[in-house]
Structure 1
Amino acid sequence: MATAPDLSWIPFYEELATRLLDFKDDRHGLIALVLEAYEAVQMKVPKLDSTMPPADIDPFTVMGLFNKGLTWENRAKLAAALKSALGIEAAAPTAFDSIPLLNNQHATFYRFSNDPDRGDQDLEKLWILLETAVAYADGPTPEREGALAEAFDGAAAIKGVRWMVTMGLYWARPNVFMNLDSRNRWFVEKEDVPQTLKDATPREHGATVPSGEEYLQLCRTARALCGDPSSGFRSLPELSHLAFERSEEVNREKKLEQGEVAPDPVLAEPGPRYWLYSPGEQATLWDGVRECGSMVVGWDALGDLSQYGSKAAVLEALDAAADDGRHHHNDAGCAWAFASEMVPGDVVYAKRGSKRLVGRGVVTGEYTHDEEGPEGLRNLRDVEWTDAGEWDWPGEGRMPTKTLTDITDNEKAVARLEALIGASRLAQGAPEASAEPELDPYTREDFLADVYVTPERLDDMEGILRRKKNLILRGAPGTGKTYAAKRLAYEFMGERDRDRVKVVQFHQGYSYEDFVEGYRPTATGFELRRGPFLELCDAALEHPDEPFFLVIDEVNRADLGRVLGELFMLLEADKRGVHLDLMYSRESFTVPRNLYVVGTMNTADRSIALMDHALLRRFGHVELEPAFASDGFRAYAEGLGSDAFDRLVSVVQAMNEDIAQDEALGPSYRVGHSYLCNLTAGERLPAQLREVVEYELAPVAREYWFDDPGKAEGWVAEMRGALA
């Protein structure tokens, strides 16, 4: 069920629309106040015309200044500045639930003055539309309705406006006018809403903007359904919010459906990914994307890239759309990465050709598709461009020619790039870039919803960490130990800060040189390099008031005494702050008091010797059980709504009882709940369940009872039968 939207923004938006009408005959005065607002918050004025400042402006473009791809913080700052500049009494909004946004590349309701498609009366039509809309909304009469319908038709015919006209009317009077952006049209077409609303609403794709008369009839139909139990919404803003939340949910399901995007790769190194990006051939789009704070890719023929469940599906669609006999593997990979792999916080380097770089930025938004955007600018993400200039590519050879390339694994090139652009920034006297996205809070409730343990078990984990600073999560395969370890770090910190969590995986060959420090070969000899443990300790020492976490997966696979060497003793809580000399560099070193270590141990792994007593006493130990009976797992199962899933869970629980009673196995070998997590409701669920049984659970049963194949195949048959 959708969360209740925060609609406290409505009074401000309505008063802003009314106040703007005072400037219908004083556009220059309005432009001056807009520039004053931007100066007050020290934000760069976006390009509003071919020459700046613009000679003219319309009211909807003014409202759109803070209703596009900006962070909520910047939207709130700009709204507050406009409140002050325009003398608005209503409180400036700090929440923007259910508000449709403009494409940053298509954020004016008019074509620029040097565009041949700009009509002489285009801006005047938009002012008339707002004037007639406010009059009708505040006191509807047949005469006012006729004037508004005529004004709607005139504004909708302006080149490039189309559905944006309904967004502007919704901003001005959200309880009267229905927003018909692509999300709302999709929602009404696809979801369970009354048929009268479906019949009156244009379809998501291929529909033409309705006439003013048809649009006002649609608004009446939608308002009549507000509060009707069959509709699911009590107001037009609630309808818009439902459309947004449901479309986001569907997009996530599609990305996860084929298993190509993990919900949260637990073992991935924390920190951003790094990308090379070509803003058009020879960077022809660079000035535009930098001005608008975005990055765009082409492939308009594919439509919304989030509709594809896999890279293979993108490739199939590209090959069909191009119909040129070529195989578009690279383009498909770029399109898939742009929509499904890139995340906020990633770093992007804009390039020109294969030898020159022109900018650096940080991704701040999710992928969006603007069906009404200009050609070639419909697939986009918001980016805060931190740097612009000219730099030679510091990597080996030439840069790839693809539109988008992940270079995260090219650590040498990334380090050189960051040093090169950082040095340029300092040489110009500019401050260090700080385009870090706001961290998402992560609460106790979030942990208990994500990790299927009891509140009492979470209390135990936290207590051990505070007292001993070192914790080991033990358990059978599939009990979600590493998943729980990382989220325990987030819960302890109160936010999802990946920069303060480092995940390493131990193995039998892991050594002090890998973990702490050691000599590594270079082109000219050997150099001493710090390992992940020292790097994390260095960061923790620089920020002593913030907790840092080292997560060691399979902690008992390596000899921790050999891996830590002389630092083994310093892990103890009462030895934090004590200094010892490192083996190679001989520098004085201590394990910070704000560093916490969480290890995981698979108790069913026969290849691992028991941990020695010296290590055991330095850690607290918590056993994670299969959580099929937990409240969290039950809620997850209810969300799937599948009888076959419920039957399979019952079979696995029965098999676990058999495993626990088997003298050769025992409770440590029970099957964990994570085998059955991360499944998605819908048409793909039966296939997913079959894959789990055939390729994950059946091999486990055959491995456990390798000496009793009859029993193994009996349980496999039980699991298959649960799905029949």
Structure 2
Amino acid sequence: MNKTIDRTWVDFYKELAEKLLEFREKREELIIKIQKVYELAEIKLPTLERNNQLTDIDPFTIFGLFNKSSMKESNKIKILENVSELLNIKSKVPSSFDSIPTINNMGATYYDFEGYRNENDIDDLWTLFSVALTYAKEKRLEYKNQFIKYFDLVMSKRGIGNSKLTSGLYWISPKTYANLDSRSRWYIFESEKVPFEIISLMEMGNEKITAEEYLTIIYNLKTYLSSTKTSMSDFIDLSYEAWRYSEQVNKKKTDEIETTDADKDVESINYWMFSADSEVKYWDFFYDNSLLSIGLNKLGDFSTYIDKKEIKEKLQEVNEFNNNYNNTANAVWQFTKEMKIGDIIYVKKGQSKLIGWGIVSSRHHYNINREFSNSRQIDWKKKGEWITPVKPSNKILTKITPYSESVRKLNMLFETEKFDTVIDTEVGFPKYNSNQFLNEVFMNEKYYHSLVELIKIKKNVILQGPPGVGKTYAAKRLAYSIIGEKATSRVKMIQFHQSYSYEDFIMGFRPTETGFKLNKGTFYNFCKQAEEDSENKYFFIIDEINRGNLSKIFGELFMLIENDKRGTELELLYADEKFSVPKNVYIIGMMNTADRSLAILDYALRRRFAFYNMNTSFTTMGFREYQENLQNSKFDELILCVQNLNKEIINDETLGEGFVIGHSYFCNLKEITDSILTNIVEFEIIPLIKEYWFDEETKVDIWSEMLRSSIK
């Protein structure tokens, strides 16, 4: 280990675990103390029960309160300082949380909410917590047997998986229990850092592990850590090294990616439809064991095939029938190569029924000794029977991501909008800071910081400027630079148009086959998502904001978006419901000042938004450096000609600065050819000046010839 690890948390977490045991029979008192912790920390208590009516809680969930993946370190410290005071903990409050495993915000409780959990679920969690601490202190056989019994019992419950349960055990006794979150599993089993002879002794598939399998992993890891083959000495070292090395690998991957689009290096979520018809008798097994398989064991390990053609040939061989097998081969390929952690999968039965949905939580795994040799782990969210709102394909596996209307209907049916951005947050989003923003957007650094300050103070800002100054290009990057990472789950972009309505934006009734249904709109869902994660900033971006009827679209929420009205509740038009715009939601709009077909924005909008002028960046240090790297004299002449053209536009009484030609027409060029420059001039710049000077043909002809001459 090349760095001294801050282990302050170990003693604090250990003492907290012992303190919590004292409240096993005094849970009402414990709930009051937890509520007081958040009150003193001035942080909103997360949703821990349906309608926030908290009646019971388990100790693992309490540890999860300050071990969330997206929680700021400062908020973790605030919470623990108040926990320390209210529970009289003597150990020093930790100030560093590097390498401590975290859990996702959306699944932060170890129990299901009332109405879904069994009567003894929370009691079983308390018992496992207690026997785990007892077994950690004394390795007697009777304690081991108790641990095995309750580990398996808790693991069998819905919403509990390998990562979540082993992280909880690691928190309370990190020298006894190994953390098997996604980072650690990757480091142990896939990074090739742990010797093969150690890995070969351990079984770790996609399915939920048993207590016996977990204890075997612990034993073999301890054997490895006590050997001379590594400088690590315990599970704390191992968890830290897994965290450190994965950060290093992730950074390298991010640095190697050339970003031409704001989200190019962020994996987006895909949606899938799985047909259970051929495997319907196994559906309960899949659900109870948090897995999914498409069968076809005769193919062996799916991951060994190099393309779909090879899969089809193998299918023809094992079935002794010369079918084309296109759909089956495609399903095998997608299940193995394209499906990703964080993707959402819907399960159908027949042509009219849906029977469940879940989130993909592992990569493809092959185990020849299991009934389903090729499988993936799925965090199933719901099981039941619903009439499908879409016409499903007959294929066993269908990627439905391109069919946005079908995805929207399914999201509404299951209310999965709040889940549709769940990805493997334990690995994290690519980092993004102000330097990266300035390198990509070519904005003056002083102007950038002024804009960021304006957004934080006003909360609602419109980026206005002529075409080509990079308003849309900058918007998401601006949000990411403030967040500090490319957190796609916290940034939403839409585009207004003349037909966009309140019903699209907030909520409204939509026709169905049997009548009408109240549907929630994009902004409503986004605000609800942000409300559940109040410690993080959320950005709602509206392109072409002046193309919509703002009063009609925002309706009664026009008042609520004001900075000093955030958090104020108002009854919605279509629902008997109080609604507010959270304080952590920021709105960025984009407006083209050269669009003469649009009316001037009314005072109501101007009063609630700050307006930031985005100008051309030809003279910024970033663009000049970009221009110098291209080293092309024709490009240089064209830029000079456009700058002179802009002076003419600014001096024109009918136009002005709001109509200049922006720099984005000339950005992201990896190489310069005559045809590329000609296309920019003929099909982008000249049509624009023809529109500007539609009644001055002579001026258009003069400048067209000057632009063409600059690149000859």
Specify the TM-score bucket, using the shorter chain as the normaliser: 0.5 to 0.7
Match of 2:691 among 703, 706, 716: 703
The code of the aligned residue for 2:179 comes to V
Residue 471 of structure 1 and its aligned partner are, at CA, apart by 0.9
Pair 1:298 & 2:307 matched: yes
- Against the structure 1 CA distance between its residues 433 and 532, is the aligned structure 2 distance closer, same or farther, given a 3 Å change threshold? closer
Pair 1:625 & 2:619 matched: no
* Residue in structure 1 matched with residue 231 of structure 2 by the alignment: 90
Pair 1:411 & 2:420 matched: no
Pair 1:399 & 2:393 matched: yes
The answer as to whether partners of 2:293 and 2:376 remain within 8 angstroms in 1 is no
The CA deviation string for residues 498-552 of structure 1, in whole angstroms up to 9 with x for no partner, is: 2222222222333322322222212122222222222222222222222222212
The answer as to whether partners of 2:294 and 2:396 remain within 8 angstroms in 1 is no
The answer as to whether partners of 1:520 and 1:527 remain within 8 angstroms in 2 is yes
- Against the structure 1 CA distance between its residues 340 and 60, is the aligned structure 2 distance closer, same or farther, given a 3 Å change threshold? closer
The answer as to whether partners of 1:7 and 1:96 remain within 8 angstroms in 2 is no
The answer as to whether partners of 2:198 and 2:221 remain within 8 angstroms in 1 is no
The answer as to whether partners of 1:263 and 1:678 remain within 8 angstroms in 2 is no
* Identical pairs, percent: 33
* Residue in structure 2 matched with residue 40 of structure 1 by the alignment: 178
Pair 1:573 & 2:563 matched: yes
User: How large is the RMSD of aligned CA atoms in angstroms?
Assistant: 5.7
State the alpha-carbon separation in 2 of the partners of residues 390 and 292 from structure 1. 29
* Residue in structure 1 matched with residue 169 of structure 2 by the alignment: none
Pair 1:720 & 2:694 matched: no
The answer as to whether partners of 1:347 and 1:363 remain within 8 angstroms in 2 is no
The answer as to whether partners of 2:198 and 2:224 remain within 8 angstroms in 1 is no
- Against the structure 1 CA distance between its residues 7 and 691, is the aligned structure 2 distance closer, same or farther, given a 3 Å change threshold? farther
The answer as to whether partners of 1:38 and 1:81 remain within 8 angstroms in 2 is no
Question: SS state of the match for residue 527, structure 1?
Answer: strand
User: Any stretches of 5+ residues in structure 2 without a counterpart?
Assistant: 4-165, 167-174, 207-216, 233-237, 280-291, 312-321, 365-374
State the alpha-carbon separation in 2 of the partners of residues 590 and 389 from structure 1. 28
State the alpha-carbon separation in 1 of the partners of residues 199 and 652 from structure 2. 69
State the alpha-carbon separation in 2 of the partners of residues 580 and 390 from structure 1. 35
* Residue in structure 2 matched with residue 208 of structure 1 by the alignment: none
The CA deviation string for residues 265-322 of structure 1, in whole angstroms up to 9 with x for no partner, is: 89x9x9623245899x9999758899999797724799xxxxxxxxxxxxxxxxxxxx
The answer as to whether partners of 1:293 and 1:385 remain within 8 angstroms in 2 is no
Residue 606 of structure 1 and its aligned partner are, at CA, apart by 0.3
* Residue in structure 2 matched with residue 517 of structure 1 by the alignment: 507
Q: Which moved more, 1:451-460 or 1:342-351?
A: 342-351
Pair 1:553 & 2:543 matched: yes
Counterparts of residues 117-516 of structure 1 (less than 5 Å): 264=263, 272-275=269-272, 298-299=307-308, 345-347=342-344, 362=360, 386=379, 394=388, 396-399=390-393, 401=395, 405-407=399-401, 408-409=403-404, 410-411=406-407, 414-415=410-411, 435-436=424-425, 437-516=427-506
Residue 709 of structure 1 and its aligned partner are, at CA, apart by 2.9
Q: Which moved more, 1:570-579 or 1:91-100?
A: 91-100
The answer as to whether partners of 1:511 and 1:563 remain within 8 angstroms in 2 is yes
- Against the structure 1 CA distance between its residues 675 and 468, is the aligned structure 2 distance closer, same or farther, given a 3 Å change threshold? same
Question: SS state of the match for residue 598, structure 2?
Answer: coil
Aligned residues: 473
Q: TM-score normalised to the size of structure 1?
A: 0.53
User: Any stretches of 5+ residues in structure 1 without a counterpart?
Assistant: 1-5, 9-35, 48-52, 71-76, 102-240, 257-261, 303-323, 368-381, 424-431
Residue 623 of structure 1 and its aligned partner are, at CA, apart by 0.5
The code of the aligned residue for 1:405 comes to K
State the alpha-carbon separation in 2 of the partners of residues 586 and 540 from structure 1. 21
- Against the structure 1 CA distance between its residues 566 and 454, is the aligned structure 2 distance closer, same or farther, given a 3 Å change threshold? same
- Against the structure 1 CA distance between its residues 526 and 43, is the aligned structure 2 distance closer, same or farther, given a 3 Å change threshold? closer
State the alpha-carbon separation in 1 of the partners of residues 685 and 505 from structure 2. 34
Question: SS state of the match for residue 520, structure 1?
Answer: strand
The code of the aligned residue for 1:274 comes to Y
State the alpha-carbon separation in 2 of the partners of residues 359 and 395 from structure 1. 14
The answer as to whether partners of 1:38 and 1:45 remain within 8 angstroms in 2 is no
State the alpha-carbon separation in 2 of the partners of residues 644 and 341 from structure 1. 43
Question: SS state of the match for residue 608, structure 2?
Answer: coil
Q: TM-score normalised to the size of structure 2?
A: 0.53
The answer as to whether partners of 2:649 and 2:659 remain within 8 angstroms in 1 is yes
- Against the structure 1 CA distance between its residues 541 and 335, is the aligned structure 2 distance closer, same or farther, given a 3 Å change threshold? same
The CA deviation string for residues 371-428 of structure 1, in whole angstroms up to 9 with x for no partner, is: xxxxxxxxxxx987546999999564442649763435112564389689x99xxxxx
* Residue in structure 1 matched with residue 645 of structure 2 by the alignment: 655
Question: SS state of the match for residue 86, structure 1?
Answer: coil
* Residue in structure 1 matched with residue 667 of structure 2 by the alignment: 677
Counterparts of residues 599-610 of structure 1 (less than 5 Å): 599-610=589-600
The code of the aligned residue for 1:41 comes to N
* Residue in structure 2 matched with residue 666 of structure 1 by the alignment: 656
Residue 603 of structure 1 and its aligned partner are, at CA, apart by 0.8
* Residue in structure 2 matched with residue 210 of structure 1 by the alignment: none
The code of the aligned residue for 1:487 comes to R
Q: Which moved more, 1:330-339 or 1:506-515?
A: 330-339
* Residue in structure 1 matched with residue 554 of structure 2 by the alignment: 564
* Residue in structure 2 matched with residue 533 of structure 1 by the alignment: 523
The CA deviation string for residues 174-221 of structure 1, in whole angstroms up to 9 with x for no partner, is: xxxxxxxxxxxxxxxxxxxxxxxxxxxxxxxxxxxxxxxxxxxxxxxx
Question: SS state of the match for residue 435, structure 2?
Answer: helix
